[in-house]
Every structure is written in C-alpha cells, then in structure tokens.
Homo-oligomer: A and B are copies of this chain.
C-alpha cells in the first residue's frame, strides 16, 4: 500500500457509490476532499480549498458546472464514475485544457443485462405478474395471464451502438430479435442494418432500446412524434439518460396507450419519477441501478486508482473522453 505524494488534492462530488464502498482503501492511497462531511456549503468549501484541488472525482448526478471549474484554478482533471459525462461542462473543460475521463466500459455488460432484463420484464410482464401473485389475485378472470408478446422475431432498434449498445445487440440477437441501429456514424465491422436518422429506425422497429450518450443532439430526441411512429404495441427501454426522452410526452403517450409499454432505469430529473406511471402495469421503473453490481464496483475502484496513479505520475490516462 503506497501513499504517493500528491501535489494537489482530489475533490469528491456526490460522492460516487464506489467511493462510499471503498472509502478506506481510496483514502489510504490518495488525498481526497469530502465536502459532504462538513456542514460548510459547497461553494464556500470549494473556495477554501481551491488552490489545492488538482482533480475532481464525481458521480453521475453531481453537476460539474462552469462555475465550479472556474473557481478551481489548479484543476487539470475530471474523473467521472459513470459512462455518461453529460453532467460535466465539457466546453469549459476543453477551453481550460482540463482532461475528462469516464468509467469506460467498466459496466457495459451490466447495463446491457439491465436493458435486456427490463425488456423481458415489460414484454413478458414479470413485475406485473409478481405484483399480481403477491396481491393474491391469481388465478384471475380474463386474459391477464397472456403475456403480451413473444420476444423472438421482434424488430429491436438500438439507439447508440457503443460498448453498451453492442452488448445489448449481441444478447437480443441470441434471443431471436431482429436488430438494427442508429448511431452518430455507421459502425465498421457491424452487420446489423444502420439507419442514419431516428425516424427511419423507429419506422422499422417494434421496440426501441436507448443506449446513446446524452448530448445537445440527443436531448429529447425521443419525442411524441417518434413515439407515435413506434405505435400502440411499441416498447421503449432506456438505460442511458432520462433526458434523451421527452419524459412529459412519454408519460402522456403511456397514459393514453399511444405506446405499449416502457422499462426505464433513468429519468429526466432523478431522483424524481413520473408518478403518473406508478399505477400502470406495462411500466417497469428501476432506480438507476443498471450499472451497479459488486463486481463492477470493484472494477471501477481499480480503474479509478489506475487513472489517479497515472495522473500523479504524468502518464496517459485510460478512457479519456475524446468526443466533446
């Protein structure tokens, strides 16, 4: 257990779950500033320590605003515990030459598993069946026990074919789904059909799975128009970021039955949920925990230590976010 000399301190924002899980191990290796442990308001805390902060380590829901960045003159590095970096002001980082790195593919397979799990759950009504059983209403009248649809043969449109999207495609392909995708660019070495525009993809899909980054271009990309094309039997799964979907319009479409169902691990204003959906059986909502497994947490800890070590010894970092 070496304790490398630190020219500057690392400001932890959130804190990320991995930091809470490995706080002792982290603290033995690096010098962290933990604003949540003091009663001092964050801006004042930052002002007090501003000369010492060389790096920020942040959770997926802790904004790293231009204001915070500007108040830290020595900041050289922002490390996200998440894959998405939409909560970091990348433009300001670029302007200042601050390096941003994310979690890379640390939990791509976990998030893909979550997407597949949510999809099967919605299509085969697992949570709904579970609720029904525990409410003691089985056996019941009518056709409730008919799970809505077969998964095999369904056309699944994947929005964003990065690491996570590719893992999702592989899994659903093995289940007999017919995969196509849209992405910023057509992927080399990928044989699934590519549609450059979201509307083309949706017109050829029964199910949409969202696994792209949240950017200005993808913000509210899935709106009422897209949902109406998807249609009454259509299902939307989102394991990326809530704001890629216009949540207000999603709620309307679900409540009115204009789309068939949804499985959502992410929301537009976390931890707030659209409560209008709570009573609907064709909706499955999970608290943004797709990425969070014990093993991924351990891997993320290793990944972050490696990056902090690299930072301290001026070596190249892993998983720098290149595409701002």
CA distance A138 to B292 in the complex (A): 15
Docked-complex contact B284 and A126, CB < 8 angstroms: yes
Please name all residues of chain B whose beta carbon is closer than 8 Å to the beta carbon of A204 when the two chains form the complex: none
Docked-complex contact A146 and B116, CB < 8 angstroms: no
Check A124/B117 contact, CB under 8 A, given A174-B170, A294-B146, A294-B148.
yes
CA distance A190 to B114 in the complex (A): 28
Check A286/B150 contact, CB under 8 A, given A116-B120, A134-B278.
no
Docked-complex contact A287 and B17, CB < 8 angstroms: no
Q: Is A229 an interface residue (CB 8 A)?
A: no
CB distance from A251 to the nearest CB of B (A): 14
Q: Is A98 an interface residue (CB 8 A)?
A: no
Give the oligomeric copy count.
2
Contact of A138 among B127, B271, B295 (CB under 8 A): B271
Check A133/B287 contact, CB under 8 A, given A150-B294, A152-B113.
yes
Q: Is A125 an interface residue (CB 8 A)?
A: yes
* Mask: chain A, 258-279; 1 = CB below 8 Å from B; 0 = not: 0000000000000101010010
Docked-complex contact B294 and A126, CB < 8 angstroms: no
Q: Is A297 an interface residue (CB 8 A)?
A: yes
Please name all residues of chain B whose beta carbon is closer than 8 Å to the beta carbon of A4 when the two chains form the complex: none
CB distance from A116 to the nearest CB of B (A): 6
Q: Is A171 an interface residue (CB 8 A)?
A: yes
CA distance A130 to B149 in the complex (A): 21
Interface members, chain A 145-190 (any B CB < 8 Å): 145-153, 170-171, 173-176
Please name all residues of chain B whose beta carbon is closer than 8 Å to the beta carbon of A297 when the two chains form the complex: 146
14 extra interface residue pairs, beta carbon distance < 8 Å, beyond A17-B146, A114-B120: A17-B145, A21-B146, A109-B151, A110-B147, A113-B151, A116-B175, A117-B126, A120-B120, A126-B127, A131-B131, A138-B273, A147-B289, A149-B293, A149-B295
Could you jot down 21 A-B contacts, CB within 8 Å?
A: A21-B143, A21-B146, A109-B152, A110-B124, A110-B147, A113-B123, A113-B152, A116-B116, A118-B126, A121-B121, A124-B289, A126-B127, A127-B127, A127-B131, A129-B287, A133-B273, A134-B278, A145-B287, A149-B293, A150-B293, A174-B175
